[in-house]
Amino acid sequence: MRDHLSGIGAHLAGPANVILQLSWPAVGYGVMNSRVHDGAAMKRPFKRGRTTFTYIAVAMLGTDEERAAFRKEVNRQHAQVVSREGEPVQYRGMDPGLQTWVAACLYYGTVDMIEKMHGPITDEAEADALYAHCARFGTTLQMPADAWPADRAAFDAYWEDGLAQASIDPAIAQFLLTLTEFKNFPKPFHTLGRGMVFITTGFLPPEIREAMSLPWNRRMQKRFDRILRIAGRIERALPRFLKNFPFNLYLWDMRMRRRFRRPLV
């Protein structure tokens, strides 16, 4: 699976995937109102980024033992994510249904990123193998294996139904825009915000783009396509260890943390 793990792609497409995940109100409010402050994106963005990249690396490349260890640490955090009285929606961080949606977003984002940077995956066996492997995005946490749609056709139906359940209210939209513009990071990062909003908008499905009130047109689409083709050419010229960076670094970091009994998240 290392051939499909792209550091460049993850940095470009990551914010759009966060928007997709949080487009379900229960996920959006669960993240925005989380009481787990030591890993909150608004308070500790670098730690949140490390945890997210490490999770993807462990889910895709980790051993069963490593996945179990990381699951235990993440569960400790997710168990604290529970809606309070008076919130607009009810949510629970350990909800397998919500985790299935998050896993589906990660798979969708992986394939979408590959196709936009390198073109379609034409080998059916390769596409099926990638799909089956990406179930680990969910099974590394609480998602039962049989909750993952049986095949890619079943996933397409699940995905369309999932998009129909998306609903982004103004509070969540503003929260997501703040994250996309890097306003949760120190000021030097804010200069990247405008460009990141453009790239993020290009990665979003039209209905989510509209829900976020993000403008888009044919000229912007052509510019976006050109940027992604250039990114793909650059990535194809890289040796695998650079293509996989920083996932390989975060996987190594997790293994060192386990060895020296340091917190994983």
Per-residue pLDDT band for 40 (boundaries 50, 70, 90) equals confident
DSSP SS3 for 82: strand
Please say if the pLDDT value at position 93 is more than 90.
yes
Which H helix or E strand runs over 74? helix 64-78
Give the mean pLDDT of 64-84: 95
- Residue 38's pLDDT is what? 79
Phi-psi region of 14 (alpha: psi -120 to 50; beta: other; left: phi over 0): alpha
- What span, in angstroms and rounded, lies between the C-alpha atoms of 23 and 55? 21
197 close to 214: Cβ distance less than 8 angstroms? yes
- Residue 219's pLDDT is what? 98
- Residue 51's pLDDT is what? 95
Query: What angle is formed at CA 114 by the lines to CA 66 and CA 103, rounded to 5 degrees?
Result: 45
Please say if the pLDDT value at position 1 is more than 70.
no
DSSP SS3 for 235: helix
Please say if the pLDDT value at position 73 is more than 80.
yes
Please say if the pLDDT value at position 233 is more than 70.
yes
Per-residue pLDDT band for 36 (boundaries 50, 70, 90) equals confident
Model confidence pTM above 0.85: yes
Per-residue pLDDT band for 48 (boundaries 50, 70, 90) equals very high
The angle, 0 to 180 degrees and rounded to 10, between the axes of the packed helices 7-22 and 193-203 is 70
CA dihedral 11, 17, 21, 22 (to 10 degrees): 80
The predicted-structure confidence for 127-149, as pLDDT tens digits, reads as follows 999 999 999 999 999 999 999 99
Per-residue pLDDT band for 181 (boundaries 50, 70, 90) equals very high
* Closest C-alpha to 16, from 224, 237, 155, 235: 224
- Residue 3's pLDDT is what? 80
- Residue 37's pLDDT is what? 82
What percent of the chain clears pLDDT 70, i.e. is strictly above it? 99
The predicted-structure confidence for 2-35, as pLDDT tens digits, reads as follows 689 999 999 999 999 999 999 999 999 999 999 8
What percent of the chain clears pLDDT 90, i.e. is strictly above it? 94
